[in-house]
A and B are shown apart, each in its own frame.
Chain A
Amino acid sequence: MPQALNVVGRSVVRSDGVGHVTGRTRFAGDLVFPGMLHLKMVRSPVHHARIRGVDLGEAERVPGFVRALTWRDVPHNVYTILSLIGVEPEEEFVLAQERVRYKGEPIVAVIAETEAAALEAVAKVRLDLEELPAVFDVEEALRPGAPVVTDWGNNTFMFEGHPSRRVRLGNVEAGFARSDYIVEAVYNSSPIEQAPTETTGCVAVPEANGRYTVYTNTQALYFSLDNTAIILQIPGKRLHFVGGTVGGGFGGKVDVIVEPIATLAAMKTGRPVRYVFSRSEEMQVSSTRSAWRIYMKDGVTRDGHILARKVTSYADSGAYSRQTPYALTKHAANVAGPYAIPNVSIDAYCVYTNRTPASAMRGFGVTMGSFAVEVQMDRIAERVGVDPWTIRFINAYHNGDLRPHRKIAEDATLIETMQAAAAFVGHQLSDEQKAMTSAPRASLEGVR
C-alpha cells in the first residue's frame, strides 16, 4: 500500500524563510561581540617565492595593533584537510613557512582593535621575498625541470603508491584493434570561482569554561572542527562550532580556511576575533573548481558500439591538494560515462601547480568528466553517422552491467531519462528506442 505522504508533492515554507525575507537570519559576519578584535591576513603578492624575511616593526606601531601570528605560533602548521579520511601526506601550511606557493597564500595574521587598524598594519608588514619560477599548466608541471611546488621533488600526488587514480577493465589495445573508427579528442576547462554572495568568514569567541565557540559559515562544520582541533593540538571538546547558515557556498566553503587561525587568535588574545574575507580575497584565494585537461580516445564499431575507451585526465589542484584527490577518485569512477564499454583504461592525475588551490564545487571531478564524455559521444555519433540520441541508446548501460570500477550497476536510468527528455523536447524516438528499458540484458555477451 502506498505510504501517505505529508510533504512530498507539496510546497512547504522553509523554516529559515521568514528570517531571510526579514533580514533577521544571523549570518556569521553579522555577529558583533563585546571586545571583538579583527583579523586580516598578510598574503603573498606573487605566485611562488622563497621567504627571506618578514618585518613586523612598522606594523606593530600602528595604533590599535594587538598582535601578529606567524607559522611559529601555529601548533601543527602543516595539515591536509582529508587526513580525516586517511589521505596523506600533510602538505598545506596554515601560515607559510619558508616558501609561498600561490598568489594570496597567507603568511602573517594581523589582529587589531578595528578592521581599519588591521588593514593598515597588514599594509605595513614588510616581506622580503625571493621570487621563484612558477608553473600554471598541469602537463608543464609534470615535465622534468619544471618548478617544483611541493616539498617532495615533483608535482605529483600519489594515490596509494601510484601517480594516478587508475581504473582498468578488459584490454583497451585489443579493443582499439577490433574497432572500425578511432575517435580522439582533448577537453580543457578553466578554474571556476564559486563566488558566493556572502564571503567566507567566522567569529571565534573564548568562553569562560575554556572552550571556544566558533560561529562560521562553513559548509563542513565537523570537518572544520576536527581540522581546527588538529591544527591547534587541542581536544575537539574544547571547540563548539555553530553554523548551518551559509550565504551561498556551492563547494567554496568546504575547506578549512578561516576557523583555525581565528580560533588561535582568540586563544592568544583571550578576546573574540572576527576573520571575514573581503570580496577580493574571496575571488583570489578561496579555492576554485579545478582546471581540467582530459584526453579521450575511443574505439568504435561501424554500428556505433564503443569497444574501448582510454582516458588520461589531469586535474590542476593548485598549490595544495585539499579535496582534489577525492575529486579524482570520483572522476575515475565516472569518466567512462553511463555507457557499457567492455575495455576501459583510465589514469587520472592530481597535479600541483602555483595556482590558487582548487577544491570542491558542485559535482567536482564528475562535472568536467561528464562534459568531456558527452561532447565525445556527439563526436562519435557524427563519425558513425547516427544522431546523438541513437549513439546513446546503442551504448546505454543496463542494470547488471559491470562498471569499469568493478561495481555492478543497480540504478541505471539513462534510457528512461532519455525517453522522458525526448518527450519533453518533442523528439521522435524509434519504436525500438521507445521499447527499451534499463532492465538487465538477456545476455551479457559483448558487454563483459
Chain B
Amino acid sequence: MASVIVNFELCGRDVEVLVQPMTTLQSVLRSQLGYTATKEGCRQGGCGSCTVLVDGEPMLSCLLPVEDVAGRRVVTLEGITPIDGLHPIQEAFLESNGFQCGYCTPGMVMVAKALLDHDPRPSREAIAGAISGNLCRCTGYQPIIDAIEKAADRLSGSGEQTGGR
C-alpha cells in the first residue's frame, strides 16, 4: 500500500509524517518522532499507558490510526511538562508517590489532565472513574487518586488554569 502524508499539531508544533495506512499514533509518536513518554503496555487498548489528548480528550493512541488525527491537536506528556519544574499534576504525583515503576504514569497524568480540565473539583469517585481504563500493577490506586485530588486542590485553589503549552 502507498504511504500517506499526515499533518497534525503535536504539543504546539506542526508535524508532518509519512506513514503506511493504519499506522497508529502511538507508533508514530514513539518510533518516528521520538516522543517516548507515551508508553506501550499492551498495544490493544487494554492498559491506558499510551493515553494522549486529542483536541483535549483522552484517547488511546495504540488504537488510533494517525490519519484520524490529521488537522487535530495532540498533546502528550512531553507537552504539559514545563521547560523548568513540573506541572502541578506532576508535582502532586511526585509528592504522593503516585507511581512505583513509572510505566503507567504518563497515561495516568494525561487522564488526570483531561479530567481536571473538564472538572476542576472532582470527587474521589469521579477520579476513580476517570482512571478506570488505566492499569497500575505496582502501587495500587489510592496514591494515584490522592495525587489527582491534591493536584485538583492546588489548581483550583490558586485559580490557576491547567492549560499546558
Contacts and interface: CB of A to CB of B under 8 A. Distances in A.
Contact of A22 (B30, B40, B86, B138): B86
Interface string A103-128: 00000000000001000000000000
Contact of A247 (B46, B86, B103): B103
Contacts of A279: 41-44, 46-47
Nearest to A194: B137
Nearest to B47: A197
A21 B78 contact: no
B137 A21 contact: no
A14 B104 CA distance: 17
B8 interface: no
A393 interface: no
A14 B40 CA distance: 24
A16 B42 contact: no
B102 A20 contact: yes
Given A20-B105, A25-B102, A250 B137 contact: yes
Contact of B105 (A23, A194, A249): A23
Interface string A188-220: 000000111111000000000000000000000
A198 B36 contact: no
B81 interface: yes
Contacts of A18: 86, 94
A310 B93 CA distance: 49
Given A26-B36, A197-B135, A21 B94 contact: yes
Contacts of B99: 17, 20-21
Contacts of B78: 22-23
Contact of B109 (A21, A195, A246, A278): A21
A62 to B, nearest CB: 15
A246 B76 CA distance: 22
B60 to A, nearest CB: 13
A196 B137 contact: yes
B38 interface: yes
Size range of the interface on B? 35 or more
B30 A30 contact: yes
B86 A197 contact: no
B2 interface: no
Nearest to A278: B43
A23 B77 contact: yes
Given A17-B99, A248-B103, A279-B42, A22 B36 contact: no
Contacts of A72: none
B6 interface: no
Contacts of B36: 23, 26-27, 30
Contacts of A278: 43
A64 interface: no
Interface in A154-206: 194-199
* Most A Cβ at <10 Å: residue of B41, B93, B135: B41
B102 A19 contact: yes
Contact of A198 (B20, B97, B103, B109): B103
A42 B41 CA distance: 21
B59 interface: no
Nearest 5 Cβ contacts at the A-B interface:
A23-B37, A20-B102, A247-B103, A30-B36, A23-B77
10 contacts: A13-B94, A20-B93, A20-B102, A20-B105, A21-B93, A32-B31, A197-B49, A198-B39, A247-B101, A248-B101
Given A21-B99, A22-B86, A22-B90, 12 more contacts: A14-B97, A19-B102, A20-B93, A21-B102, A22-B77, A23-B36, A24-B37, A27-B36, A27-B39, A196-B101, A197-B103, A247-B39
